[in-house]
């Protein structure tokens, strides 16, 4: 590794976002305040629509390929009503630990246009949020192979814009 590369990596580690959390499944997020209230009930871990759809919040970890750590997407997955209700019942107990359930990604992921609706596998835990493994598409491929520094920088620009543009606007 060159000294220049190491400095770039250290600067990137200090400046790049490592975690994005989706507040709600997209079907709820796109509603206005009152219609969101009417559509169902939700908190930070569970969502249930009046129409019967059920969702769990979990974490997709994308390991970095050129440094320690990972990028984390906090996302919602639509799951079977029975699986949802069992997890609500067993939430934060050992009965939930290690249970694996199927779902479909319920959020758009920037830079991954086919991610919404992708098949996922959730591994439930007693003391932390479910781990989500994406089973298909570019997001699944990236999760399996990892995220390069260049991909991380590109994602950061897509999410937050280019810092050079902000610096020029402030001048």
Q: Which of 101, 53, 52, 106 is nearest to 77 (CA)?
A: 106
Q: Which of 9, 32, 31, 29 is nearest to 21 (CA)?
A: 29
Mutual orientation of helices 149-160 and 3-15 as an angle, nearest 10°? 40
Which residues, in sequence order, are CB contacts of 157 under 8 Å at separation 6+? none
Domain boundaries, the chain: 15-160
The C-alpha atoms of residue 89 and residue 20 are separated, in whole angstroms, by: 27
The C-alpha atoms of residue 53 and residue 99 are separated, in whole angstroms, by: 20
The mean pLDDT of 17-23, rounded to a whole number, is 90
pLDDT (tens digit per residue) in 90-120: 999 999 999 999 999 999 999 898 999 999 9
pLDDT of residue 2: 40
Percent of the chain residues past pLDDT 90, beyond the cut = 72
pLDDT (tens digit per residue) in 4-13: 434 444 444 4
pTM passes above 0.85: no
């Amino acid at each position: 590794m060159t000294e220049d590369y190491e400095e770039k990596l250290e600067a990137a580690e200090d400046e790049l976002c490592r975690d994005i959390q989706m507040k709600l499944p997209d079907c709820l997020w796109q509603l206005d305040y009152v219609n969101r209230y009417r559509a169902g009930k939700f908190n930070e871990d569970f969502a249930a629509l009046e129409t019967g759809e059920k969702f769990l919040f979990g974490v997709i970890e994308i390991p970095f390929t050129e440094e320690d750590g990972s990028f984390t997407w906090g996302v919602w997955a639509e799951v079977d009503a029975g699986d949802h209700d069992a997890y609500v019942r067993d939430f934060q107990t050992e009965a939930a630990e290690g249970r694996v359930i199927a779902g479909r990604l319920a959020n758009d992921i920037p830079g991954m246009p086919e991610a919404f609706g992708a098949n996922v596998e959730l591994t439930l835990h007693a003391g932390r949020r479910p781990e989500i493994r994406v089973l298909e598409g570019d997001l699944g491929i990236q999760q399996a192979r990892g995220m390069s520094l260049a991909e991380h920088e590109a994602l950061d620009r897509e999410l937050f814009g280019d810092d050079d543009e902000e610096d020029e606007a402030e001048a």
